[in-house]
Structure 1
Amino acid sequence: MLFLDLGFNMLKGNLPTELGSLSKLQGLILQVNSLMGNIPLSIGNLSSLQNFGTTRNNFGGTIPETLGQLRNLKMLVLTANKFVGTIPISIFNISALALLDVAENQLEGGLPGDLGFTLPNIEGIDMWQNHLTGPIPESISNTSNLKEIQIDQNNFTGKVPSFSKIRGLYWFNIYLNNLGGEQSTDMDFLCSLTNSTKLELLAIGENAFQGLIPHCISNLSTTLSKFWFVSNNIFGTLPSGIGNLLNLEILEIADNNISGNIPSEIGNLNKLKYLNLGNNELLGQIPESFANLTLLIKLHLDNNNFRGLIPSSLKNCQNLLLLNLSNNNLSGYIPPEIMGLSSLSIYLDLSRNSLTGSLPEEVGKLENLGEIRLNGNRLSQQIPSSIGRCISMERLYVQDNFFEGPLPSIMSSMRGLQVLNVSNNQLSGQIPKFLESLNLTNLSLSYNDFEGVLPTGGVFRSAISTSVIGNKKLCGGLPNFQLPKCYYKESKRTRISGIAKILISTISALVGVACILSLLYFFWFRQNKNASASSSSEDGFLHVSYHNLLKATGGFSSTNLLGMGNFGSVYRGLLDQTQSVVAIKILDLTCEGAPKSFIAECEVLRRIRHRNLVKVLTACSGFDFNGNDFKALVYEFMSNGNLDEWLHPTASQYMERKKLSLLERVNIAIDVACALDYLHHHYEMPIVHCDLKPSNVLLDDEMNGHVGDFGLARFLPEATHKLLVDQSSSVGVKGSFGYVAPEYGTGSAVSTQGDVYSFGVLVLEMFTGKRPIDDMFEDGLDLHRFTKAALADRVEKAIDPILLQEIEELEKRRTIAPEGKNKSWCSIKDCLVLMIEIGITCSFESSNERMDIYDALTKLQGMRKRLLEFIVTV
């Protein structure tokens, strides 16, 4: 046997020491299994071994010193395990070694000073995401065959040596270390990289580099496509020669002290997709040459000193998903062309500038936009009614302006709106009742001129979620708002006039009632006749009509309203046919995409059956009493609501409900993973959910999780032939802001890995208690990076305080010795670490780095077993 490949199986347990007897073995590949324990010392007996790979297992302990005996070894890949300690010095003496990959472990210590002499044939050094320290050896300059160095996310320090002799280098990543600090010579190594004529990626961000930005970056190879320079202490001006790097797709120089104007030559970079110059000291005007950057997807120019007008030439950037010009000194009107960029879908931030005039009517073209920030400007006049067409909007910030008049009634169609802040304007009139029916979690109407009765439904039930202070003409509302009671004064003449109107109305009503009763009897008779004929059919499938559902929900009463989504409302109902409580989803057919959503959900739910999927009982497609199209879906009722309500309860729910325990969260995560595993792997063709989030995870009597809402679901054979390059298709799979996979925003096809990303975010949210759109996540920080940083430091920094409190109570009840308590905390901490690791691995930005949902499920089930063993002993 010359080559043994056991990769991508479900192998468990330890490696047998007998492996060492396979002396003629040249290749041993064990990647992506669940193997554990130490690598046996007998591995050193495989004297012919050339390739050894253990990527993504659970191996632990130290890397065996005996690996250094393998003098023929060319590729050593130990990525993504749990190795600790230092890298054995013997490995650095394997002169044949071409690839050394020990990334994603918990290794520490430094690199040997003679590395460049003992590894003359090395081509790849991958050591990212460990705890390595010390300097990068100067001898590395002698590794003339080096093509790739990835040592990011460690604690390396000191000056970066010269790489001038290494001409074949194409991947250079030293991101997130503590390199630099000598100021005048910190950036010399950049100039040495100008000899690397194949350089594609250069990532030097989040270090301690100081000094002037070197002009030699203009001479870097034109093959360079990704350049990360973020979060250092670099100053000086941006060289005009930056325009020479014609193949740049990503340029990020944010969070430095760069000053001066942006050179117009930046317009030469017509392949740029992501440009981030935020948080610097740049000034002058935004160059008109930005019009040439037609492939831009994300543009950050925030927190600088730009002046003048927003260039209307940005209209050429027809692929923009995100535009951030906040915290500058921009003035003048908002160009209508900017508001006409229908591609914008993540957010548009023009806040904290000096913009004037009205909000252009073209804002209605932003139908796919998730968030808009216009706060802190001098905008005036009325908010245009066209804003009601922004049906995907989840957050709208227009506070601290001079808007006037009433809130447009058409905003009632913005069913996805969760946060609305219009405070500190000059808005007037009554507070619209439709705000009660929106899915708002945070509403600020403060310091305006609203008047009349404060509503009491929806978001107005909570004085924590809603702010109305500074509106002196408001009255009523719930007691917590502490508003004066409403008093109505009527003159004698008004009362007489009112009595006359009542008499006229009463007479008219009596006539009308007679007519209506006749019509209702006709409809009732016809519908009941149809219903009795169709409610039970020979095939045993439950049939329902509009009349049945109207009656079941009490006329679609607001008291039976369970929630509202993008395409309709969900009611609690009692069906006459079965005398059972059900959940009834009524489609709002005026919403674009609702009919397609209905068809998609029917197509998926009629085929699939799984204990962790919401069971659909029947569907109704017909007409209401006015002859309008009517479509509805009837589901099994879930008595414990959805996961979002448990993770982020309102003030009233917080007092009424018990908190989700650690074990309950683990069980729900496993339930969701089981559902996705079935959809992805165990149906006749893969199904992609496309909108996984906590509000679409429903909980039954026993707190079991059920995935629902398949309105955006796709069968994979269809999806793989349908790239998301046009607006109609991208809307269909957009998902929800914060949970949608990043590759969907760049036009990638739908895939099961998109669901895995959403699952990863959901897991992180479940165990941190933080939404992915939490206000704390700004300036490049997101839930993934936040938890990843905490994992490297102290995982408890990121854990939901409710869970930490539960663990403390478990520890108090555990009557064992003090050393046992420490051990028990470690066992729980290991479980928490694993949960966070699963969430992080599933939510990597690159889809290729995410684990399969089956692997996530397997790890979750193993972790639950360990957790149960601990809890049972308490």
Structure 2
Amino acid sequence: MSFSCLTTIVLLLGSVLALVKDGRDEIDRLALLEFKARIADPSGVLSSWNDSSHFCDWDGVTCGRKHRRVTILDLGSKNLSGVMPPHIGNLSFLRGIDLENNSFHAKIPSQVGRLLRLQKLFLNNNSFSGEIPLNLSYCSNMLSLDLGFNMLKGNLPTELGSLSKLQQLILQANSLMGNIPPSIGNLSSLQVFATSTNNFGGTIPETLGQLRNLKRLSLAANKFVDTIPISIFNISALTWLGVGENQLEGGLPGDLGFTLPNIEFINMGRNHLIGPIPESISNASNLGVIQIDQNNFTGKQSTDLNFLCSLTNSTKLNILSIGINAFQGLIPDCISNLSTTLSMFGLAYNYSSGTLPSGIGNLINLELFEMQGNNISGNIPFEIGNLNKMKYLDLGYNELSGQIPESFGNLRLLIKLYLDSNNFRGSIPSSLKNCQILLLLNLSTNNLSGYIPPEIMGLSSLSIYLDLSRNSLIGSLPEEVGKLQNLGELRLNGNRLSQQIPSSIGNWPLPSIMSSMRGLQVLNVSNNQLSGQIPKFLESLNLTNLSLSYNDFEGALPTGGVFRSAISTSVVGNKKLCGGLPDFQLPKCYYKESKRTRISGIAKILISTISALVGVACILSLLYFFWFRQNKNASASSSSEDGFLHVSYHNLLKATCGFSSTNLLGMGNFGSVYRGLLDQTQSVVAIKILDLTCEGAPKSFIAECEVLRRIRHRNLVKVLTACSGFDFNGNDFKALVYEFMSNGNLDEWLHPTTSQYMERKKLSLLERVNIAIDVACALDYLHHHYEMPIVHCDLKPSNVLLDDEMNGHVGDFGLARFLPEATHKLLVDQSSSVGVKGSFGYVAPEYGTGSAVSTQGDVYSFGVLVLEMFTGKRPIDDMFEDGLDLHRFTKAALADRVEKAIDPILLQEIEELEKRRTIAPEGKNKSWCSIKDCLVLMIEIGITCSFESSNERMDIYDALTKLQGMRKKLLEFIVTV
């Protein structure tokens, strides 16, 4: 072969290789451009991804030096959103993908399994859904796999056990379920295995004990049962063990400390573990955190807590949480020798006794100390004042006695102090004035005496609450109380306070003007010896609960502000009060005229004329009274303008047979509903008892009272009265009394239990249509026909009640809002909302992104409710995953065959109607709408109302109009057959 031919071949071969190389480059470029096309980039991070430069120079892209192929895609924390395209599988040289802290959604493409060189895959903190792709197991070089904080479902693939090089497997905060496959024990290189906050169940596999290189094991907040495998305690490399918040049982191995020499973190809290804590834990000298709270750990009674002495060897101990167990016996003096690094020490709600060791003052770095709910007695040692870093101290509900040490004044960083429900005596130490950042002070239910120190009332930092109730304090309320500008609750009830309430309290700024200030909302000075007139300035405060009961107030009751509501204000036990609104049932105020008053002749004439008119009015009133007595249906105890009954805690306790479980109708977010028989009316009612320990419950009560006292409509649940007072233990008590609905709620009819399914007839097509119209009528009234628009915010089947005739009534207005656009002055402040608006599955999508409340949010909930009524499927049905929801499901069926989505109970009824139609001669030639057309229209209304975009949803009035027109045609059809 000639030299020229050889040269030609070499040149041709070079050209071919160049083309191949360019082709491979083109594959990477196109894959990246496809990736860009599928995502939103509001920050312009991918602006460099264009043809003006080579893709290896694009932001977030790293290429190899020789082959110029993409090796790393680093787009973490770039505010990106969208779908991860399958084309990413074409980037065959990828070694690392970092998309963490973005908003990617939909499935993880299975094509990632083609990336055989992939070593690191970080997809954490996004919204990926669906299952973990099985073929990730093909990525045999994988070192780190982080899929945490997403929405992944399904089981953990057994195939992942073949990733022999894997060092980190992080799956926390998803919705994964099933068992942990034993094959995970084959990952011999694994150092971190985190599955916390999922739905994994079954037993923890013994094979995890084979992971000899494992340093961090986090299985907390799942549904694991049975015991912790002993093999786990044989992993000598383990530094982190988290198995809290499961359903684990059994005890701990006696050689725990020996087998975990490197352990730094132990969390076994919130399980059902029993038995003693082995004292051999003393060998765990690196231990920094031990959380074993909320179990049933015990010991040998008198020496239950001796294991604490073993922890004195743990010189790095920072958190010790052993509360809510069954530990008994004395608190050992050795706790004084725990590490000075200790910052949190919790021993609450056990059965510990004895005294608090004086050496507690040695723990100079302690910031949180909880020992409430034990049997600790004796004095608080003066040395507690050495804990000058203390921020949260709770010694409540013990048997502590003596005086409160003045050394508390040294705790200048204290934020919350609970010393309630003990036997403290003497005066309140004025040294507490030094706690200048104190937000909460609770000294209630003791034997404290003397005057309230003015210095305490001068603590302007107090903003959560000040509770000095149920003591023996005397004197007047200091003028300095006016400095508590941000205080939320002030409780002084059950003392011996006397004289008048100082006027300086009226100088507090109003939260309605300065919305960032919490302001006083609860004031309780009941059961004292306060006298004089009730100050008018109380009307101007932003109070939601005021109790002045059982004092010696006199004169006219104010009528403004909180005094507008007998629900929010209690003045019982003040025998000299008069006037006020009728709800308070106080006598009228009469003022004696001075004998020396001179009345002019004109005045006498006016008085005579007025007297005559009054006389006529009295006669007419008397006649009306006799007529009213003959015709009234309500109890004589009803005296308010609205006919509201006046009921007490005792009345409701009796009506429900002591809140018996046999009368329990249901439970909600903020309380329980009972069936009751009121003595006053001898009628059956529904009584909603608020659980005031739930955050937002008091605000829910006020919101519901405010809405229900204003609105009247046949399709809204009627409130009969409300009760706001105290139970027999002096605790706050709030309840609402409703008209009883004999047929329960719509949710029970759509999704009956086994017993209900057999007992009840099924909801017919026409009944469902009627109920949908009833709900639409109620919403139309709230949105368009009241003086200001009202948004319900929690529409769902369980909040639709059904009466004897199966008419629908919308109830539960605890989250309702008056629209902020309204110019009227509202008694319910819009800033006091209780959380975001609605229940999962029914809440409008825009609320999740912080959008304001709107009537269109109710329309969305109504659309979901309609779809649920006619499909029989809840919006949170297990079938809805991987982007499929009730809206998309019905929309797809509508495009194909609507019957696929319809409740089988309805299909059976329709089949019967169709059979009857075929034998009805008078209906054969009549123009009528087929049932299928009616179903299509119902589904269309549900779909149109539940569009993701609020702008695409129809108004509730339009939905109501369509429903009423459809019902007319449906009735024509049913009558025909």
Looking at structure 2, the residues matched to 824 and 187 of structure 1 have their Cα atoms a distance apart, in angstroms, of 85
1:386: Cα distance to partner?
Answer: 0.9
Tell me if structure 1 keeps the 8 A contact 2:282–2:311.
no
Note closer, same or farther for the CA distance 1:475–1:532 as it changes in structure 2 (3 Å cut). Answer: closer
Note closer, same or farther for the CA distance 1:593–1:248 as it changes in structure 2 (3 Å cut). Answer: closer
Residues 398-453 of structure 1: CA distance to partner in whole angstroms, max 9, x if unpaired?
A: xxxxxx99999999999966555454556667767887887766554544555677
Looking at structure 1, the residues matched to 334 and 969 of structure 2 have their Cα atoms a distance apart, in angstroms, of 55
Note closer, same or farther for the CA distance 1:335–1:282 as it changes in structure 2 (3 Å cut). Answer: same
1:337: Cα distance to partner?
Answer: 1.3
SS at match of 1:732: coil
1:316: Cα distance to partner?
Answer: 1.3
1:149: Cα distance to partner?
Answer: 3.2
Looking at structure 1, the residues matched to 926 and 193 of structure 2 have their Cα atoms a distance apart, in angstroms, of 34
- The 10-residue stretch of structure 1 (363-372 or 484-493) with the greater mean CA deviation from structure 2: 484-493
Residues 156-197 of structure 1: CA distance to partner in whole angstroms, max 9, x if unpaired?
A: 33xxxxxxxxxxxxxxxxxxxxxxx63443333333333332
Tell me if structure 1 keeps the 8 A contact 2:637–2:680.
no
1:78: Cα distance to partner?
Answer: 1.9
Residues 263-322 of structure 1: CA distance to partner in whole angstroms, max 9, x if unpaired?
A: 333222222222333334444433333322211112223333333332222211111111
Alignment-derived partner of residue 199 in structure 2 = 58
Note closer, same or farther for the CA distance 1:607–1:267 as it changes in structure 2 (3 Å cut). Answer: same
Looking at structure 1, the residues matched to 632 and 239 of structure 2 have their Cα atoms a distance apart, in angstroms, of 80
- Could you tell me the percent identity over the aligned residues? 92
- The 10-residue stretch of structure 1 (64-73 or 436-445) with the greater mean CA deviation from structure 2: 436-445
Looking at structure 2, the residues matched to 763 and 520 of structure 1 have their Cα atoms a distance apart, in angstroms, of 52
Looking at structure 1, the residues matched to 235 and 941 of structure 2 have their Cα atoms a distance apart, in angstroms, of 34
- The 10-residue stretch of structure 1 (574-583 or 281-290) with the greater mean CA deviation from structure 2: 574-583
1:137: Cα distance to partner?
Answer: 4.3
1:327: Cα distance to partner?
Answer: 2.9
Note closer, same or farther for the CA distance 1:820–1:12 as it changes in structure 2 (3 Å cut). Answer: farther
Tell me if structure 2 keeps the 8 A contact 1:44–1:70.
yes
SS at match of 1:719: coil
Note closer, same or farther for the CA distance 1:190–1:125 as it changes in structure 2 (3 Å cut). Answer: closer
Looking at structure 1, the residues matched to 167 and 937 of structure 2 have their Cα atoms a distance apart, in angstroms, of 34
Alignment-derived partner of residue 526 in structure 1 = 629
- The 10-residue stretch of structure 1 (651-660 or 367-376) with the greater mean CA deviation from structure 2: 651-660
Looking at structure 2, the residues matched to 557 and 509 of structure 1 have their Cα atoms a distance apart, in angstroms, of 56
Looking at structure 1, the residues matched to 709 and 294 of structure 2 have their Cα atoms a distance apart, in angstroms, of 47
SS at match of 2:748: helix
Unaligned runs of 5+ in 2: 1-141
SS at match of 1:837: helix
Tell me if structure 2 keeps the 8 A contact 1:53–1:77.
yes
Looking at structure 2, the residues matched to 371 and 829 of structure 1 have their Cα atoms a distance apart, in angstroms, of 59
Note closer, same or farther for the CA distance 1:333–1:726 as it changes in structure 2 (3 Å cut). Answer: farther
Tell me if structure 2 keeps the 8 A contact 1:426–1:449.
yes
Tell me if structure 2 keeps the 8 A contact 1:546–1:630.
yes
Note closer, same or farther for the CA distance 1:664–1:141 as it changes in structure 2 (3 Å cut). Answer: farther
Looking at structure 2, the residues matched to 711 and 719 of structure 1 have their Cα atoms a distance apart, in angstroms, of 19
Superposition CA RMSD, Å = 19.0
Tell me if structure 2 keeps the 8 A contact 1:523–1:625.
no
- The 10-residue stretch of structure 1 (138-147 or 234-243) with the greater mean CA deviation from structure 2: 138-147
SS at match of 2:266: strand
- The 10-residue stretch of structure 1 (421-430 or 248-257) with the greater mean CA deviation from structure 2: 421-430
1:651: Cα distance to partner?
Answer: 34
Alignment-derived partner of residue 24 in structure 1 = 165
Tell me if structure 1 keeps the 8 A contact 2:788–2:822.
no
Residues 88-123 of structure 1: CA distance to partner in whole angstroms, max 9, x if unpaired?
A: 444444444443322222223333445455555544
TM-score (norm: length of structure 2)? 0.46
Looking at structure 1, the residues matched to 215 and 409 of structure 2 have their Cα atoms a distance apart, in angstroms, of 49
Tell me if structure 1 keeps the 8 A contact 2:464–2:488.
yes
Looking at structure 1, the residues matched to 569 and 640 of structure 2 have their Cα atoms a distance apart, in angstroms, of 49
Residues 350-372 of structure 1: CA distance to partner in whole angstroms, max 9, x if unpaired?
A: 22333222211110000111111
SS at match of 1:620: strand
- The 10-residue stretch of structure 1 (647-656 or 412-421) with the greater mean CA deviation from structure 2: 647-656
- The 10-residue stretch of structure 1 (83-92 or 604-613) with the greater mean CA deviation from structure 2: 604-613
Looking at structure 1, the residues matched to 760 and 705 of structure 2 have their Cα atoms a distance apart, in angstroms, of 33
Tell me if structure 1 keeps the 8 A contact 2:515–2:831.
no
Tell me if structure 1 keeps the 8 A contact 2:425–2:447.
yes
SS at match of 1:786: helix
Note closer, same or farther for the CA distance 1:654–1:846 as it changes in structure 2 (3 Å cut). Answer: same
Note closer, same or farther for the CA distance 1:183–1:654 as it changes in structure 2 (3 Å cut). Answer: same
Looking at structure 2, the residues matched to 314 and 778 of structure 1 have their Cα atoms a distance apart, in angstroms, of 56
Looking at structure 1, the residues matched to 292 and 764 of structure 2 have their Cα atoms a distance apart, in angstroms, of 38
Looking at structure 2, the residues matched to 498 and 238 of structure 1 have their Cα atoms a distance apart, in angstroms, of 81
1:544: Cα distance to partner?
Answer: 44
Note closer, same or farther for the CA distance 1:609–1:20 as it changes in structure 2 (3 Å cut). Answer: farther
Tell me if structure 1 keeps the 8 A contact 2:521–2:543.
yes
Alignment-derived partner of residue 281 in structure 1 = 399
Tell me if structure 1 keeps the 8 A contact 2:486–2:519.
no
Q: Are positions 1:222 and 2:340 aligned together?
A: yes
1:735: Cα distance to partner?
Answer: 20
Tell me if structure 1 keeps the 8 A contact 2:285–2:313.
no
TM-score (norm: length of structure 1)? 0.51
1:734: Cα distance to partner?
Answer: 21
1:57: Cα distance to partner?
Answer: 2.5
SS at match of 1:61: strand
Note closer, same or farther for the CA distance 1:39–1:519 as it changes in structure 2 (3 Å cut). Answer: same
Rg larger in 1 or in 2? 2
Tell me if structure 1 keeps the 8 A contact 2:670–2:697.
yes
Alignment-derived partner of residue 175 in structure 1 = none
- The 10-residue stretch of structure 1 (622-631 or 489-498) with the greater mean CA deviation from structure 2: 622-631
Tell me if structure 1 keeps the 8 A contact 2:367–2:391.
yes
Alignment-derived partner of residue 536 in structure 1 = 639
Tell me if structure 1 keeps the 8 A contact 2:774–2:807.
yes
Tell me if structure 2 keeps the 8 A contact 1:568–1:588.
yes
Alignment-derived partner of residue 309 in structure 1 = 427
Tell me if structure 2 keeps the 8 A contact 1:385–1:411.
no
Alignment-derived partner of residue 287 in structure 2 = 146
1:249: Cα distance to partner?
Answer: 1.8
SS at match of 2:372: coil
Structure 1 segment 702-721 matched on structure 2, within 5 A: none
Tell me if structure 1 keeps the 8 A contact 2:291–2:320.
no
SS at match of 2:599: helix
1:384: Cα distance to partner?
Answer: 0.4
Residues 753-783 of structure 1: CA distance to partner in whole angstroms, max 9, x if unpaired?
A: 9999999999999999999999999999999
Tell me if structure 2 keeps the 8 A contact 1:720–1:750.
no
- The 10-residue stretch of structure 1 (848-857 or 247-256) with the greater mean CA deviation from structure 2: 848-857
1:341: Cα distance to partner?
Answer: 0.6
Tell me if structure 2 keeps the 8 A contact 1:462–1:650.
no
SS at match of 2:685: strand
Residues 558-594 of structure 1: CA distance to partner in whole angstroms, max 9, x if unpaired?
A: 9999999999999999999999999999999999999
Residues 122-162 of structure 1: CA distance to partner in whole angstroms, max 9, x if unpaired?
A: 444332222233443455455555544333222233xxxxx
Note closer, same or farther for the CA distance 1:514–1:362 as it changes in structure 2 (3 Å cut). Answer: same
> Which of 245, 248, 266 does residue 363 from structure 2 map onto?
245
Tell me if structure 2 keeps the 8 A contact 1:620–1:632.
yes
- The 10-residue stretch of structure 1 (509-518 or 457-466) with the greater mean CA deviation from structure 2: 509-518
SS at match of 1:451: strand
Note closer, same or farther for the CA distance 1:594–1:276 as it changes in structure 2 (3 Å cut). Answer: closer
Alignment-derived partner of residue 686 in structure 1 = 789
Note closer, same or farther for the CA distance 1:381–1:561 as it changes in structure 2 (3 Å cut). Answer: farther
Note closer, same or farther for the CA distance 1:673–1:465 as it changes in structure 2 (3 Å cut). Answer: same
Note closer, same or farther for the CA distance 1:351–1:646 as it changes in structure 2 (3 Å cut). Answer: farther
- The 10-residue stretch of structure 1 (778-787 or 90-99) with the greater mean CA deviation from structure 2: 778-787
- The 10-residue stretch of structure 1 (223-232 or 441-450) with the greater mean CA deviation from structure 2: 441-450
- The 10-residue stretch of structure 1 (520-529 or 590-599) with the greater mean CA deviation from structure 2: 520-529
Note closer, same or farther for the CA distance 1:790–1:87 as it changes in structure 2 (3 Å cut). Answer: farther
Note closer, same or farther for the CA distance 1:348–1:758 as it changes in structure 2 (3 Å cut). Answer: farther
Q: Are positions 1:804 and 2:907 aligned together?
A: yes
- The 10-residue stretch of structure 1 (688-697 or 770-779) with the greater mean CA deviation from structure 2: 770-779
1:336: Cα distance to partner?
Answer: 1.3
Looking at structure 2, the residues matched to 566 and 199 of structure 1 have their Cα atoms a distance apart, in angstroms, of 39
Looking at structure 1, the residues matched to 880 and 433 of structure 2 have their Cα atoms a distance apart, in angstroms, of 28
Note closer, same or farther for the CA distance 1:576–1:80 as it changes in structure 2 (3 Å cut). Answer: closer
Note closer, same or farther for the CA distance 1:575–1:689 as it changes in structure 2 (3 Å cut). Answer: same
Alignment-derived partner of residue 47 in structure 2 = none
Tell me if structure 2 keeps the 8 A contact 1:385–1:408.
no
